[in-house]
Amino acid sequence: MAMNPDPRVDAYVANSAEFARPILRHLRALIHQGCPAAQETIKWGFPFFTHEGILCFMAAYKQHCAFGFWNPGMRAILQKDRKDLREDLRRITSPRDLPNDRTWLRYIHEAARLNEAGGPAPAPRPAKPAARIPTDLAAALRKNKAAAATFKKFSPSGRNEYIEWLTAAKRPETRTQRLATTIAWLAEGKPRHWKYQKR
């Protein structure tokens, strides 16, 4: 724990939903283990951790928690490990959703190193929320459990790729064809741009 814990962060954790408290406590402990010099504060109503600038933040909502690194250089590091990891950290529902402690500490060390190296660190853009599921896609997903399970597992951006591709169809025949392809690919566990992924 921090040498000088901020009582406002203590209060934030204590006042969070029951499911969120162990997640926030775990994140907080790992941040201070990975960067002992990190300081705590509250910004925009959420706990932030600083070291040579803003290091990271965490937040609790009604049904999930969120975590984000502030330095834009962390985006490439997270995506190197897993393409959708940054998005998944925006919707944490249990400690099991987090990378293992060893990996997490490596991320903290990297974030601290990037801040120490200097340079601008603009605020990250908020994660794009999932678009509304069209009625024809929703109906097709209800009829195919495998496709529905894959769609549910995708990050909001992963779901949006399919939704936007479907809704961009200008002709009814094109939309019908894309819907069939969408369900077929989802049933096979494939993301929208699976053809372009490295094998």
Question: Where are the chain's structural domains?
Answer: 7-117, 135-193
Tokens 């049933």, residue located: 187
Mean pLDDT along residues 78-105: 78
User: For 104, what's the count of Cα atoms within 13 Å in the CB-facing half-sphere?
Assistant: 19
Q: 88 CB contacts (<8 Å, ≥6 apart)? A: 82, 97, 155
pLDDT confidence of residue 77: 82
pLDDT confidence of residue 3: 57
Cβ(80)–Cβ(73) below 8 Å:
no
Convert the pLDDT of each residue in 115-152 to its tens digit.
998 754 455 555 566 678 999 999 999 999 999 999 99
- Specify the fold of 7-117: Aspartate Aminotransferase, domain 1 (3.90.1150)
pLDDT confidence of residue 100: 86
Q: How far apart are the first and last CA of the chain?
A: 42
Tokens of 116: 């120490």
Convert the pLDDT of each residue in 30-44 to its tens digit.
999 999 999 999 988
Is the pLDDT assigned to residue 25 strictly greater than 70?
A: yes
Cβ(58)–Cβ(13) below 8 Å:
no
pLDDT confidence of residue 85: 66
pLDDT confidence of residue 126: 59
Tokens of 78: 């997270």
pLDDT confidence of residue 157: 82
The pTM score is: 0.56
pLDDT band (50, 70, 90) for residue 83: low
User: For 80, what's the count of Cα atoms within 13 Å in the CB-facing half-sphere?
Assistant: 7
In terms of pLDDT, which residue wins out, 11 or 75? Answer: 11
